[in-house]
Amino acid sequence: MSAFYKLGKPRSNGNSKSYRAGVQYTKVLTEEDIIDMMILEGSPCSKADTQAILEKYYTMINRAACNGWQVVTRNARYGFAIKGDFYSPHDEFDPKRHQIVARIQPGSDYKETVETGVNVKKLTNAKKRPDLDVYANLSVEAQDTELTPGRMACLFGHHLRFDPRDAEQGLFIVPHDDDAITAGSEQDVRVDEVVNITLRELTFIVPNHLQPGNYKLQVRAKYGKNGKSVLRSGELHDILTVA
């Protein structure tokens, strides 16, 4: 497999003759995704055991930070810095003027893997469209594979912003079966209560009238200027369920 990139002008200098490469991630993996990959490849530990081990592992890293220690692992170097001005050699840390900020740098293994093991390909004629990466159910007792009617949820990705005043655009919940997605049908449910719309995040309330079944999320947005806008859609890879 390959990673992809596309070229663009630096924002800080639009008159520059040079271009810079921007990485275009094809997928965003969560910690749970990594654990699932481990299990599929034959991990000696169960998923629950792995989650418990990782929970303890990260707790120890965070505790080390609170003790004022730096942590160096194969994949990352964990540390922190202090921001703010000190006005004399006798000045001391003041939470009103100073801030402790996390600093994480790539470890030797990850750095070597990225620099020597990643194959890249250029994206040509890439058209901007919604890119849906991760869904999160904000209901405490629900899983991120579930849509909970009447409860809040978040969708993360890129180019997610749309005009909520245009009925053709928006976040849609689309029925899904084993054969095909019934996109564009009267069964598609447009989410009316989208409380936060940004390029990288949508926060919304799952419609109360959603029936039990399997669904996919789609974002539809228009691109273009001077009355020549084009409607494009993006879809979340994961199938979500209403119990």
Residues of the chain with pLDDT under 70: 9-16, 124-126, 177-186, 226-227
Identity of residue 217: L
Its domain, for residue 118, covers: 3-122
Report the C-alpha gap between 50 and 113 in whole angstroms. 23
Tens-place pLDDT, residues 67-90: 999 999 999 999 999 999 999 999
Which residues, including other chains, have CB under 8 Å from residue 202's CB and lie 6 or more apart?
154, 155, 160, 171, 194, 196, 219
Return the exposure string of 202-226: e unless at least 16 CB atoms fall within 10 Å of the residue's CB, then b: bbbbbbeebeeeebbbbbbbeeeee
pTM above 0.75, yes or no: no
Q: End of a domain among 69, 95, 122?
A: 122
240: β partners: 215
At 104, which CATH number? 4.10.520.10
Residue ending a domain, choose from 122, 140, 160: 122
Asked if residue 235 and residue 188 are part of one domain, the reply reads yes
Q: Which CATH number goes with the domain that contains 144?
A: 2.70.50.70
- Reported as a single tens digit per residue, the pLDDT across 76-135 is 999 999 999 999 999 999 999 999 999 999 999 999 999 999 999 887 666 788 989 899
